Copies of this chain bind each other. A is one copy, B any other.
Amino acid sequence: MEDLDHEYKNYWETTMFFQNQELEFDSWPMEEAFSGSGESSSPDGAATSPASSKNVVSERNRRQKLNQRLFALRSVVPNISKLDKASVIKDSIDYMQELIDQEKTLEAEIRELESRSTLLENPFKQMDYSTRVQHYPIEVLEMKVTWMGEKTVVVCITCSKKRETMVQLCKVLESLNLNILTTNFSSFTSRLSTTLFLQADEEESSAVEAKIQMAIAAYNDPNCLINF
């Protein structure tokens, strides 16, 4: 009797076999072993009523299932402070709330990243106004796109050189994800010219030109919410 009770103690605390929460009805050797002794040591001495006997075993099953679930819960949650039943549930709640919060954070981050990378597909994406920085516009003086054959397109852009013009032009061009083979920037006193060698077909040339012009226009637009 003592030994059995002791085993029961350990049953919840350590020696729990049934970690698989999918099983509904398992064999549970320790409970089975105890069942007989429990019946025989029934306090009323007389024949145990067969009606309640069913209830007893059913109740045992229920308790065992619940403990099983509780143990499974414990195995999912990291950092369980106390092995107490109530504490296990409490820690699970805290952990779950933590997960939910983190999920929201991650989703927000993904939305932020997506709005940043889907620059040209969705030109008008919402952005935080307070984070907008104003810059000098890029003034294009001349732009020429020519197909060189062999999947090579050359783009020549000349713009007036102001403050940070080269950095800004770099940003815009990098945002387009063009297949750039070679780049060359040259700056003189008042002008900045760049020559891009792109890998593209002849029919893509006009599309490339349009993309660049659109991107520069978007970059210059003070109301444009895209962050470059």
* Shortest CB distance A78–B (Å): 10
* Chain B residues within 8 Å of A100, by CB: 76, 99
Cβ contact within 8 Å between A119 and B120 = no
Cβ contact within 8 Å between A182 and B186 = yes
* A14 close to B (CB within 8 Å): no
Cβ contact within 8 Å between B99 and A96 = yes
A38-94 CB contacts (< 8 Å) to partner B: 62, 65-66, 69-70, 72-73, 76-77, 85-86, 89-90, 92-93
Select from chain B the residue with minimum beta-carbon distance to A170: B167
A169-195 CB contacts (< 8 Å) to partner B: 170-171, 174-175, 177, 180-189
Given A86-B65, A119-B119, CB of A103 within 8 Å of CB of B99: yes
Select from chain B the residue with minimum beta-carbon distance to A187: B183
Cβ contact within 8 Å between B93 and A96 = no
Which of B109, B110, B183 is close to A166, meaning CB atoms less than 8 Å apart? B183
* Chain B residues within 8 Å of A62, by CB: 86
Select from chain B the residue with minimum beta-carbon distance to A63: B86
Pick out which of these stretches binds chain B: A3-11, A123-131, A139-147, A151-159. Answer: A123-131
Cβ contact within 8 Å between A227 and B125 = yes
* A206 close to B (CB within 8 Å): no
Query: Quick one: CB contact mask for A99-131 with B, threshold 8 Å, 1 for yes?
Result: 110110011011011101111111011001101
Which of B69, B99, B122, B164 is close to A227, meaning CB atoms less than 8 Å apart? B122
* Shortest CB distance A107–B (Å): 7
In the complex, A65→B228 CA distance in Å?
55
Cβ contact within 8 Å between B103 and A129 = no
* A12 close to B (CB within 8 Å): no
Cβ contact within 8 Å between B110 and A86 = no
Which of B65, B70, B102, B183 is close to A103, meaning CB atoms less than 8 Å apart? B102
In the complex, A127→B170 CA distance in Å?
23
25 A-B pairs within 8 Å (CB atoms) are namely A66-B86, A66-B89, A69-B86, A69-B93, A73-B93, A77-B96, A95-B96, A96-B99, A99-B99, A99-B103, A103-B103, A103-B106, A113-B114, A117-B119, A119-B174, A120-B171, A122-B131, A124-B131, A124-B133, A125-B131, A164-B170, A166-B183, A166-B185, A184-B184, A184-B186
